[in-house]
Every structure is written in structure tokens, then in C-alpha cells.
Amino acid sequence: MNDTQITEQVVQPLSQKIPACVVDIISSLDSATPTFVLIDPMLGDPLPGIESQMSPAETQAAREACWGREVTPVLLNSRTSLPVTKHPYLISTQGPDDSVIELTLELAQAEKDKAYANGLDGQGIAAHRIGGWLQSTMHVQELADAIAVMCTVNTRAFTQATYLRLADRRTLALLNYVIGDARIRSMFGRIQHWSYLDALGSISTLNGMQQGENANRLCLDHTEWARMQRGELINRSIAQWLGEHSRSGFDHPIPQRAADLYPSLDDAVDAAQHASIQWPHRFKEIQDQTTFAALTLLHPGLFKIKEIIAFLADRGTSDDPSDPMRYLAADVRKRQPLKA
């Protein structure tokens, strides 16, 4: 798709046959409240035509030309080392039926599909650039400033981190699990609604406080910050777990709500981290832990089987050392008949 085709797709009205997923996002939005799309360009913009070597002014002009809409940067805390052109930004839409909504939903779905595509054979990685669809009666610059504050790390724990990457929708979903709806609502203040594509491919919506109430700045305690720091492990494990579940036709159920995925993931990631201590020769990279966590979720009880434990404990020889976990998924499953 070239730049001209993209621009035409953005400005054209929605077709008469609207896909069900588009109906879901439109129905989650209030037609009386201004709607914005949050973009995370840290790993590159979602549309072609914006190059990494551009100046901030050139980047701003290119974004507005590509999207065909007003674009407002979310300027992060000055202590954040990320270049300004990699900071999040907001697209001002013409309402819930704006074609930008449909286009960004399609892009979000493609991001999820890419992360999940190869299941256990993949790494669970893809750039998630579509942060969600926000509604607020605040002026767009006020909204950008409010998001910048929320993205500034504030924790009682010692850390050198400065950027809480809420423009990545997976981070927002994990934060909601860690702190709960009430504190999210308090943090959002006058952001009435924040909808996003969740881990199950459905639209989830978080709500702010009543009109006129100001936001309260979030402060994470030591335990909460530690849980947020496991985000990469959790997100990649989700992608490998659900991707393999889909492609291999597993018949055991998964949770119906994305929020209900996280307790099981917490346990699986705990198990993977303990396994990396027990069998360090099998765990050389983060993918070894995410593969173990995904296998734990796909096959509960697998790693309590004596044959599997003995297999993992085998260190091999100096001439033929044991393979790390990320290469062993098929071998582990072969050693114990398991029904998908």
C-alpha cells in the first residue's frame, strides 16, 4: 500500500458493510465526546512516509499528511532519553465513525496477529503502535499533557526508569490488573474513556471519573512496580500461549475476558523464573522463560512429570551441551503423550 492509497483510505467514509469488530469499537465510543487515537511510534510509525532521520517539525508535518488529521505530540518528561520524534502522539478524529478509527483498529489487529502467529515457535514479539481510542472533553493539548504525566514513572521502589509506556496498550492492560479499576479511574481524571484492543482481540474500555474531577497522580509501591517490570515476560508469554492454542487447535478453554488471563500468567511466569534457577543450562534468554510459561499454561502439570524433569535436568556433555528451552518445546511434548 503506498502513501496515496493510505491517505485515500483514511479520508474515505466507512463502508456500508461494517465489520463486527468495527461495530464493537464504535459502540464503545460516545458520539458526544471528542475522540482521539493514541499512537506509540517508539519502534516506528504505523504508516509509511515518516522516516527516522526527520526533524521534529518534518515528522509532525509528515504525520499530519499521512493521517490527514491534526496530530498533537505527547511530550514526555525531560528526563526521558527517548528522542522527541519517538514520543507518543494523539490523532484528533472527526468522531466515532471517522475512518481513522477503522484503519487503526485494523492496524492493531495486525499487530496482535503478528505477535501470536508462530505460537511456541515464535518469540511473541511485535510492535504495538496503536495505543487505543481515547475520549475526553479536555482540549487536545491538555489531554496530551495529562497522558505525559501518567507516563512518568512514579514509584517508591528504587529505579532508573522514567517512562511508564502506557501508549503500549499491553502496559495499560497490565497496569489495570495490578492496581485495579478504582485507581485507574482516579488516575484518568477527565479522560472519560480509554478503549483498546486487548489480548483476546476484543475491545476493552477503561473509564475515568465524573466530568470535572481532577486526576490523582499514581504512585506504585515496591510490589506493584516489581509486577509491572515483568511486563515483557507476561506479554510475550501471552502471545506464545494464545498463538499456540489457536494454531494447534487445543480444546481446553481459555478465559473469556482478557483481564482473567493475568492470574494464570502470574503463576506461569513464577514457575518459569523458578525453573530458570533449577535448570540454568536450559534458560539462556527471555524466550526460554516465555516458552516454559506458555507450555505450563497449555499443559498444566507437564513439568511435574518425572520423565520431563529428568529430561530438563540433563546437561548434556561439553561436546554436546543441552539445548535451551526455546528449542525444546516439541521434544518436551513428545516425551509425554498430550492431547491438544
Per-residue pLDDT tens digits for 254-290: 999 999 999 999 999 999 999 999 999 999 999 999 9
Q: Say whether pLDDT at 12 is over 80.
A: no
**What sign results for the dihedral spanned by CA atoms 259, 260, 266, 269?**
negative
Residues above pLDDT 70, as percent of the chain = 92
What is the per-residue pLDDT for 212?
Answer: 59
What is the per-residue pLDDT for 209?
Answer: 81
Which residue bears the cell 496498550? 169
Domain residue ranges in the chain: 3-221, 231-334
What is the per-residue pLDDT for 336?
Answer: 66
What is the per-residue pLDDT for 22?
Answer: 76
What is the per-residue pLDDT for 3?
Answer: 42
pLDDT band at 21 (very low <50, low <70, confident <90, very high): confident
Cα within 13 Å of Cα(160), Cβ side: 1
Contact (Cβ atoms closer than 8 angstroms) between residue 4 and residue 63: no
pLDDT band at 306 (very low <50, low <70, confident <90, very high): very high
What is the per-residue pLDDT for 27?
Answer: 83
Contact (Cβ atoms closer than 8 angstroms) between residue 131 and residue 197: no
Q: Say whether pLDDT at 238 is over 80.
A: yes
What is the per-residue pLDDT for 132?
Answer: 97
What is the per-residue pLDDT for 214?
Answer: 81
pLDDT band at 335 (very low <50, low <70, confident <90, very high): confident
pLDDT band at 184 (very low <50, low <70, confident <90, very high): very high
In this structure, the number of other CB atoms found within 10 A of the CB of residue 18 comes to: 12
- CB-based contacts of 327: which residues, under 8 Å, 6+ apart? none
Give the strands of the sheet with 130-136, arranged side by side: 71-73, 89-92, 35-39, 130-136, 191-197, 203-207
Map 250-288 to HEC letters. Answer: CCCCCCCCHHHHHHHHHHHHHHHHHHHHHCHHHCCCHHH
Per-residue pLDDT tens digits for 188-200: 999 999 999 999 9
Span 54-59, average pLDDT:
95
Q: Which residues sit opposite 320 in a β-bridge?
A: none
What is the per-residue pLDDT for 15?
Answer: 40
Residues above pLDDT 90, as percent of the chain = 79
